[in-house]
Structure 1
Amino acid sequence: MAFIALGINHKTASVDVRERVAFTPEQLVEALQQLCRITPSREAAILSTCNRSELYLEQDHPSTDEVLAWLAGYHNLSLEELRACAYVHQDDAAVRHMMRVASGLDSMVLGEPQILGQMKSAYAVAREAGTVGPLLGRLFQATFSTAKTVRTDTAIGENPVSVAFAAVSLAKQIFSDLHRSQALLIGAGETITLVARHLHEQGVKRIVVANRTLERASILAEEFGAHAVLLADMPQELVNSDIVISSTASQLPILGKGAVERALKQRRHKPIFMVDIAVPRDIEPEVGELDDVYLYTVDDLHDVVAENLKSRQGAAQAAEELVGAGVEDFMQRLRELAAVDVLRAYRQQAERLRDEEVTKAQRMLQNGTSAEEVLALLARGLTNKLLHAPSVQLKKLSADGRFDALAVAQELFALDEGSDKRSQ
């Protein structure tokens, strides 16, 4: 049995690579089933966000080469290119990595809370795909429990630091007075909801939410007094937008250089601040070449994020200690589970020997042997049979010089030098 965490993230791969390795929600179930079918993985889950794509696996024996080959093939990458930015953690290191990820300790924004919900979604999809069994299931539950403890017992998530918050902070640096600015938000997911909340709190003059479905955009818009439109209406809205922040699940850019150029002409080249939080990207990179556009991707937010993280650094050490305790507790429980099969087999063997001796005793009673003699023979016979195999093995271990095993046996049977004296 081996746990494996394998993947890439914002620390090891650029946004260009991450968007090529990302899984869409529609791909996940089929990908999980294919992963378990083609590789030696007995259980599997996939976490895919804008900042990471990770596979969580349970295998009989660690076998990562086939998994890397599958991941590269699935996304049409060369194996060498993937190896250059991939990382692999095994067993307790894999457990620690999952718990750190769920606790926000491995995020671009230290302590950001969205990752826990994303990991829970990954677990739910894997259950739907039928690729999570008892072992990986226990690991996910332990991971969620540890992450909850980190949130409850530390201040790592108290301050509003997130990619969404960083985007709004950067907008404040470019536009001194957000009360006069208008914002166009593309998408209606969790990240855009956070952006809308922060912009609303900053008193932005007008917020427009553009989404593929008007119903979802309307729900979000209503919460913050914004205006909802379809993606097709973006060109008109772009003309009046000082701030554009996009985060959708589209596989292709939805805002091109031509549309932005036309909007700039109508705006008389009044600047537009843009942040593309999506992976794959929503805004064509060429948009950043325009003179009156300030275009940032998630990778560009590092400096802003770092500035806002100072208040969380002190809580990180306490969080790491809680994660360490979570790893130790889970691995101990796992080791205890490993003994269950041995104990079950030993009990079955003992019960078989008991039944044999009871059957023999019943025959002796039927043949007229006294009850006292039958009980004595039953006790002696059962004791001899229960001790036979351990006695043979202990003598063999002693002859082979395996004194370490003899010490373990003494501990296993709760023996010590004073046991004979106490029994007298």
Structure 2
Amino acid sequence: MRSYHISRHNSFYAIGLSYKKADAEVRGKFSLDVPAIDRIMVQAKEQGVDGLLVISTCNRTELYGFAQHPFQLIKALCDETPGSVEEFQEVAYVFKNHDAISHMFKVGTGLDSQILGDFEIISQIKQGFYRAKKHEMANPFIERLCNAVIQASKRIKNETELSSGATSVAFASVKYILNHVSDIENKNILLFGTGKIGRNTCENLIKHSNNSHITLINRTRAKAEDIAGKFHLTVKDYGDLQTEIRKADILVVATGAQLPTVSKALIYSKKPLLILDLSVPKNVSDDVRELDNVTLVHLDQLSRITDDTLTKRKAFIPKAENIIEEVKKEFIKWLETRKFAPVINALKEKLNTMKAEEIDFHSKKISDFNQDQAEILSERIIQKITKQFANHLKSAEVDTADSLELIQKVFQLEIDSK
């Protein structure tokens, strides 16, 4: 049985960047679409990496994987994105072993989200795991860790109110519109892009503004029609984008494009136009700010909108952290057992061999030798010895890698590493 463990030879790292230090422009440089994630997986596999998970959202890009040095993972990311290693290192974080495990729990349970308690990230972790599995990069450690994070996330949703109330990027954008635009029910709203954020924004707009003058445009018309059908909205072709922008009072851009799709050249508005860019990388060029009647607001500004909902949510952080600790403890227990189980089993086998030899030797030498009693006594001693070693290896103060090495040397153990 192969042991995927945390050791000084093969460490588990989390490398990445997030909204905390990297603005939308920098995050955009390191954003990964599905084909790029697949290429990273293929490359890493060729280089001997045996466990890797990649997530890329509008707020963060992260790689979780096994490597001798975190630079292997950093290089894998930079090779597939326009961003350089130097740019990455200015805003990056690198977590190792237990810190990397803790970081994934924090991210996956919404405690590290730009809007506290935003659980969108857990679906990204599930997708990342699916891609890892597809490329045979989800080793038992990665699989168990992802399942533990998903379990913690479910429990926090069910047992706390960390995600209560309507607070998300989509809600924040609608709140911004309601606070800054008067006579909202009579304004023309154009929504460009109908992914998850676009869809949520659309639902929030209808719910909170009583506006039915909403037009949807998406590169794939069928997706826009699917959403429009639910709410009786208008759908226009991608080719009509410029014409529709001219008619709009509010433009919400929520596309997944890697380059800006809306620029100054597309806009000929003679009336005030509010543009909300909910995309990472940015999908609206900064040059639109040069137009007098255009106001451009980006996702990062919207995410700073805090309200009573967030204040209420903060009260549930300690409870969420307790749940994380419980689930994490179970995972660490599994990990520790997995780490030293092969050595303890090999030690038990070695001691059993010694026992058999000794019992055989003494049964020939001693005339009234009681083999059954000797078996029972020896077995109990072996159990106690192996338990002592297991307790020693579980101790937090112990360097497990060094101890395992020493046990193997002292007892000349051969570990099956298949």
Tell me whether the two structures share a fold, i.e. TM-score over 0.5: yes
Does the 8 Å CA contact 1:357/1:381 hold for their aligned counterparts?
A: no
Give runs of aligned pairs for residues 6-17 of structure 1, distance below 5 A. 6-17=15-26
Distance 1:384 1:11, change over 3 A: closer
Amino acid at match of 2:58: C
Structure 2 residue 140 is the aligned partner of structure 1 residue 149: no
Q: CA deviation at 1:117?
A: 1.1
Structure 2 residue 284 is the aligned partner of structure 1 residue 247: no
SS state at 2:130 partner? helix
Does the 8 Å CA contact 2:108/2:150 hold for their aligned counterparts?
A: yes
Q: CA deviation at 1:277?
A: 1.1
- Paired residue total: 377
Distance 1:259 1:337, change over 3 A: same
1:191 to 160, 181, 197: 197
1:173 to 164, 179, 185: 179
Partners in 2 of 1:192 and 1:96 — Cα distance? 31
Q: CA deviation at 1:353?
A: 5.0
Distance 1:375 1:183, change over 3 A: farther
Does the 8 Å CA contact 2:40/2:76 hold for their aligned counterparts?
A: no
Q: CA deviation at 1:316?
A: 2.1
Q: CA deviation at 1:124?
A: 0.9
- How large is the Cα RMSD of the aligned pairs? 3.0
Partners in 2 of 1:356 and 1:326 — Cα distance? 44
Give runs of aligned pairs for residues 211-360 of structure 1, distance below 5 A. 211-260=218-267, 262=268, 264=269, 269-305=270-306, 309-350=310-351, 352=353
Does the 8 Å CA contact 1:353/1:382 hold for their aligned counterparts?
A: no
Distance 1:306 1:299, change over 3 A: farther
Distance 1:243 1:307, change over 3 A: farther
Which residue of 1 is the match for residue 416 of structure 2? none
Partners in 2 of 1:214 and 1:358 — Cα distance? 80
Partners in 2 of 1:225 and 1:115 — Cα distance? 30
2:30 to 21, 38, 60: 21
Which residue of 2 is the match for residue 55 of structure 1? 63
Listed one character per residue, the Cα deviations across residues 37-79 of structure 1 (whole Å, up to 9, x for unaligned) are 33x64210100001100011134x5x11332233233324332
Which residue of 2 is the match for residue 124 of structure 1? 130
Does the 8 Å CA contact 2:359/2:374 hold for their aligned counterparts?
A: no
Which residue of 2 is the match for residue 86 of structure 1? 92
Q: CA deviation at 1:343?
A: 3.2
Distance 1:377 1:16, change over 3 A: same
Structure 2 residue 66 is the aligned partner of structure 1 residue 66: no
Q: CA deviation at 1:158?
A: 1.1
Distance 1:338 1:217, change over 3 A: same
- Aligned-pair identity in percent equals 25
Does the 8 Å CA contact 2:37/2:54 hold for their aligned counterparts?
A: yes
Q: CA deviation at 1:285?
A: 1.5
Listed one character per residue, the Cα deviations across residues 272-301 of structure 1 (whole Å, up to 9, x for unaligned) are 111111111221121122111111111121
Q: Which has the higher helix share?
A: 1
Give runs of aligned pairs for residues 106-117 of structure 1, distance below 5 A. 106-117=112-123
Listed one character per residue, the Cα deviations across residues 203-229 of structure 1 (whole Å, up to 9, x for unaligned) are 113111111111111111112221222
Listed one character per residue, the Cα deviations across residues 318-369 of structure 1 (whole Å, up to 9, x for unaligned) are 222322333223212211222321232134335545666798899x7xxxx9
Does the 8 Å CA contact 1:178/1:205 hold for their aligned counterparts?
A: no
Partners in 1 of 2:130 and 2:179 — Cα distance? 40
Distance 1:319 1:233, change over 3 A: same
- Structure 2: stretches of 5+ with no match in the other structure: 1-5, 389-397, 404-418
Does the 8 Å CA contact 1:154/1:318 hold for their aligned counterparts?
A: yes
Distance 1:321 1:177, change over 3 A: farther
The higher radius of gyration belongs to 1
Higher RCO structure, 1 or 2 (CA under 8 Å, sep 6+): 2
Partners in 1 of 2:241 and 2:32 — Cα distance? 26
Amino acid at match of 2:65: L
Amino acid at match of 1:327: K
